[in-house]
Amino acid sequence: MSEGHPSTPVAARVRRLEERLIEARVVEETQLDAALAAMLQGASPLNGARIVARAWADEDFRRRLLADANAVLPEIGLSMAGGIQEQRLKVVENTEAAHNVIVCTLCSCYPIGLLGPSPSWYKSEAYRARVVREPRAVLAEFGLELPEDTAITVWDSSAESRYLVLPRRPEGTGEMSEPELAALVTREGLIGTAAV
Which DSSP string corresponds to the chain?
A: --SSPPPPHHHHHHHHHHHHHHHTTSS-HHHHHHHHHHHHTT--HHHHHHHHHHHHH-HHHHHHHHH-HHHHGGGGT--S--SSSPPEEEEEE--SSEEEEEE-SSS----HHHH-SPPHHHHSHHHHHHHHH-HHHHHHHTT----TTSEEEEEE--SSEEEEEEPPPPTT-TT--HHHHHTT--HHHHHTSS--
Q: Which residues are catalytic?
A: 104, 107-109
